[in-house]
């Protein structure tokens, strides 16, 4: 049976190829850049006054002069004025252009202005102080944000400041999230005693939307022909399908068979792991990708976090999620020769070390257990005993 690392690597060999599309900047938050952002002007574009006060010529201050006649006021949003009389000054406001003929700004806090005469009350003045000089942050044409960056708050601010009203980004992958199972009813329905409400697709939607996918929720019964007919259309309309349920050994587990009929070639079925052993993965020759996640909710979640999310991030050109490392807060035994994804609660010990406390629970159908869970610790298959204090990788989702 395939190892976790082998399955992960096969999944990452089937990334989506996403076209680029222009979107207006107001719709671009969290999208992934397909063009670099470059400075259209120097940053800052002019010598910018950075404190409210007066602008003077430093050479005059150096001669010992402390009183300067106020010759006018330079506000932000105006072209630069010129100080014609060298021994005078101009009042200047933060964000204004530094007036021509001046080079230094003294704050109001360090002055007294009486009857149009400003008296400087400090001696420690540096030439050029309180001026944010043109091009000191970045030069015109310099690349500010490279291709492949996700547009977070600073990137959005930079895009706006360089005039990108429209920005080229990766198209969001269209992913269909499909629950399967005759026992499943809609969230709005009252289940019969033999039914439950479907929950996996809501879990999947939360994982995938946050990472930038456009998702649609669908449901199919446990009937191979109905599934085949419906999925034929779905495959044409979406970049990828994520099914939950119908992939293990039951008489109503039709997903692998239906996918084969639809020309989606199986790349693997079953991974040496718990939970999630029945995981199915396939791709069509046209590049459509299908994840068949095991239906038990904890398996669905683990597989979504360990395989689907890295695949989506890599398809978007984003860094694939890296596990953190924590120490086991108590010893654990697990004898099957499978990678064991242990649900844990994370905390920090008094000496600053990350601690993972195993959560008791009744297995992979116990989705209520996830409410207390911060992540899954990945314990390797070749061992059965894991001692308190040993460190292992943890995939966290909080």
Ligand X SMILES: Nc1nc2c(c(=O)[nH]1)N[C@H]1C(S)=C(S)[C@@H](COP(=O)(O)OP(=O)(O)OC[C@H]3O[C@@H](n4cnc5c(N)ncnc54)[C@H](O)[C@@H]3O)O[C@H]1N2
CA nearest 184: which of 271, 312, 300, 307? 300
Under the binding rule (CB under 5 A), the answer on residue 257 touching Mg ion is no
Q: Which stretch binds ligand MOO (CB under 6 A): 191-199, 226-234, 271-279, 384-392?
A: 271-279
Under the binding rule (CB under 6 A), the answer on residue 248 touching ligand X is yes
Query: Which residue in the set 49, 231, 247, 289 belongs to the binding site for ligand X (CB under 6 A)?
Result: 247
CA nearest 49: which of 121, 119, 104? 104
Under the binding rule (CB under 6 A), the answer on residue 130 touching ligand MOO is no
Under the binding rule (CB under 6 A), the answer on residue 364 touching ligand MOO is yes
Which residues lie below 8 Å from residue 213, measured CB to CB, with a gap of 6+?
172, 173, 174, 175, 312
- Answer whether 80's CB lies under 8 Å from 45's CB: no
Query: Which residue in the set 81, 102, 299, 339 belongs to the binding site for ligand MOO (CB under 6 A)?
Result: 299
CB of 252 to Mg ion, least distance (A): 7
Under the binding rule (CB under 5 A), the answer on residue 253 touching Mg ion is yes
Query: Which residue in the set 99, 212, 245, 275 belongs to the binding site for ligand MOO (CB under 6 A)?
Result: 275
Q: Closer CB to ligand MOO, residue 164 or residue 277?
A: 277
Under the binding rule (CB under 6 A), the answer on residue 35 touching ligand X is no
- Distance in angstroms (rounded) separating the CA atoms of residues 7 and 208: 20
- Distance in angstroms (rounded) separating the CA atoms of residues 35 and 146: 7
CB of 42 to ligand X, least distance (A): 55
Q: Closer CB to Mg ion, residue 276 or residue 310?
A: 276
CB of 335 to ligand X, least distance (A): 16
Under the binding rule (CB under 6 A), the answer on residue 47 touching ligand X is no
Q: Which residues bind ligand MOO (CB under 6 A)?
A: 274-277, 294, 296, 298-299, 364
Q: Which residues bind Mg ion (CB under 5 A)?
A: 248, 250, 253
Q: Which residues bind ligand X (CB under 6 A)?
A: 179, 181, 183-184, 196, 198-201, 244-250, 253, 275, 277-278, 294-297, 299, 364-365
């Amino acid at each position: 049976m395939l190892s976790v690392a082998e399955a992960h690597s096969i999944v990452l060999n089937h990334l989506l190829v996403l076209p680029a599309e222009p979107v207006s900047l107001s719709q671009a938050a969290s999208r992934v850049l397909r063009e670099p952002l470059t400075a259209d002007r120097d940053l800052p574009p002019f010598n910018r006054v950075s404190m409210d006060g007066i602008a003077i010529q430093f050479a005059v201050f150096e001669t010992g002069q402390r009183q300067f006649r106020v010759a006018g006021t330079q506000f932000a949003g105006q072209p630069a004025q010129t100080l014609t009389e060298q021994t005078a000054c101009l009042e200047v406001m933060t964000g204004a252009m530094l007036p021509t003929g001046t080079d230094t700004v003294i704050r109001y806090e360090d002055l007294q202005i009486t009857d149009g005469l400003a008296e400087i009350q400090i001696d420690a003045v540096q030439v050029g102080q309180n001026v944010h000089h043109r091009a000191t942050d970045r030069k015109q044409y310099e690349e500010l944000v490279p291709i492949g960056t996700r547009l977070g708050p600073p990137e959005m601010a930079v895009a706006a400041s360089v005039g990108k009203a429209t920005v080229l980004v990766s198209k969001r992958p269209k992913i269909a999230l499909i629950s399967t199972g005759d026992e499943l009813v809609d969230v709005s329905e009252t289940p019969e005693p033999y039914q439950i409400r479907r929950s996996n697709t809501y879990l999947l939607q939360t994982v995938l939307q946050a990472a930038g996918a456009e998702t649609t929720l669908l449901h199919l019964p446990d009937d191979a022909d109905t599934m085949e007919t419906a999925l034929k259309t779905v495959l044409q309309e979406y970049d990828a399908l994520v099914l939950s349920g119908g992939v293990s050994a039951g008489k109503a587990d039709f997903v692998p068979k239906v996918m084969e009929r639809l020309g989606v070639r199986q790349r693997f079925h079953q991974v040496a792991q718990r939970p999630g052993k029945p995981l199915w993965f396939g791709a069509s020759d046209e590049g459509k990708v299908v994840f068949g996640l095991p239906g038990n909710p904890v398996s669905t979640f683990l597989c979504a976090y360990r395989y689907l999310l890295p695949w989506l991030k890599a398809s978007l050109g984003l860094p694939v999620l890296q596990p953190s490392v924590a120490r086991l807060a108590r010893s654990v035994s697990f004898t099957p020769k499978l990678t064991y994804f242990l649900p844990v609660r994370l905390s920090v010990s008094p000496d600053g070390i990350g601690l993972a406390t195993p959560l008791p629970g009744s297995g992979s159908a116990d989705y209520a257990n996830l409410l207390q869970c911060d992540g899954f610790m990945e314990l390797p298959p070749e061992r059965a005993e894991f001692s308190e204090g040993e460190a292992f990788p943890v995939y966290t989702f909080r």
